[in-house]
């Protein structure tokens, strides 16, 4: 039986309202292209795409640490588990 979207609990993480800080990262050309593609897809800035990726990673890693698993429901309704390394 396929998992229905309404069956999947969602979690919203509230982040304290703090002043933005500046950081510098060095990315490969491929990683930067992927980041820009994500930002374009969601019509957000590259810094916002980075912030969202960090937030998602935190949520996923916290659930895995508690024994949870990450599943993706494909278009054909089949489920695929992801193995994420720490």
Interval 20-70: pLDDT, tens: 888 899 999 999 999 999 999 999 999 999 999 999 999 999 999 998 888
Q: Which domain holds residue 53?
A: 27-86
Q: Is residue 75 part of a domain?
A: yes
Confidence of residue 12 (pLDDT cuts 50, 70, 90): very low
Q: Is residue 15 part of a domain?
A: no
Q: Is residue 47 part of a domain?
A: yes
Q: How far is CA 33 from CA 71, 77, 82, in A?
A: 26, 30, 23
**Distance of alpha carbon 78 from alpha carbon 72, whole angstroms:** 8
Query: How far does Cα 36 stand from its chain's mean position?
Result: 15
pTM above 0.85, yes or no: no
Q: Is residue 16 part of a domain?
A: no
Q: Is residue 81 part of a domain?
A: yes
């Amino acid at each position: 039986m396929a998992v229905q979207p309404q069956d999947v609990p969602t979690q919203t993480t509230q982040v304290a309202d703090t002043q933005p800080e500046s950081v510098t990262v060095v990315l490969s050309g491929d990683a930067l292209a992927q980041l820009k593609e994500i930002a374009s897809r969601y019509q957000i800035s590259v810094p916002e795409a980075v912030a969202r990726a960090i937030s998602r990673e935190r949520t996923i890693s916290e659930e895995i640490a508690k024994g949870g698993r990450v599943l993706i429901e494909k278009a054909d309704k089949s489920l695929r588990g992801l193995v994420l390394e720490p």
